[in-house]
Amino acid sequence: MPNVNPPYEPMVVVNDFVFCAKHGDEYCLACYYDHRFTNNVQIEDKIDDNLKENYSMDERPSFNVYSHGAIRIDPAGESCKCREHDKIDCESCFNWLALVKGQATQAQRDAAWLESKQKWYDKMGQ
């Protein structure tokens, strides 16, 4: 169960989302971390149910906080600032809700596209 993490493992908290401190991953294979479930709790009420139809929050692509420009303020601390604005918990660099919504919207589009393709194949008898 990757969700059961010892609480003393180093992590960073950026705009309410938790990441492994060493690699910056939400879902980190190296650390056996999966923080996606914890992080999803922060945003799932703000995402429409119909957006979740073809998108699994628990299986979503994991974010890497360092690839979003996070820099640790203190090597022992949990806070990060963004490289671009030098701001802790920057709402534009670390807007996880918008990023997840974007992923979910894309998943919806892909599903709709597949469905229309399938209808077309059905009509063509393939």
CB of 22 to Zn ion, least distance (A): 5
Alpha-carbon distance of 3 to 6, in angstroms, equals 10
Out of 85, 109, 117, 119, point to the residue binding Zn ion (CB under 5 A).
Answer: 85
User: 88, 79 in Cβ contact below 8 A?
Assistant: yes
Judged by CB under 5 A, the residue of 84, 110, 120, 121 near Zn ion is 84
How far is residue 117's CA from residue 123's CA, in Å, rounded to a whole number? 10
* Token pair recorded at residue 115: 């469905």
Binding to Zn ion by residue 20, rule CB under 5 A? yes
| Binding range to Zn ion, per CB under 5 A, among 39-47, 57-65, 70-78, 90-98 | 90-98
Question: Is residue 14 a contact point for Zn ion (CB under 5 A)?
Answer: no
Number of C-beta neighbours around residue 39 at 10 A: 24
Residue 83 touches Zn ion, criterion: CB under 5 A: no
Alpha-carbon span 81 to 121, nearest angstrom: 50
- On whether the CB atoms of residues 33 and 27 are closer than 8 A, the answer is yes
Q: Is 30 in the site for Zn ion (CB under 5 A)?
A: yes
User: Interface residues for Zn ion in 91-110 (CB under 5 A)?
Assistant: 93
Residue numbers of the site for Zn ion (CB under 5 A)?
Answer: 20, 22-23, 28, 30-31, 82, 84-85, 90, 93
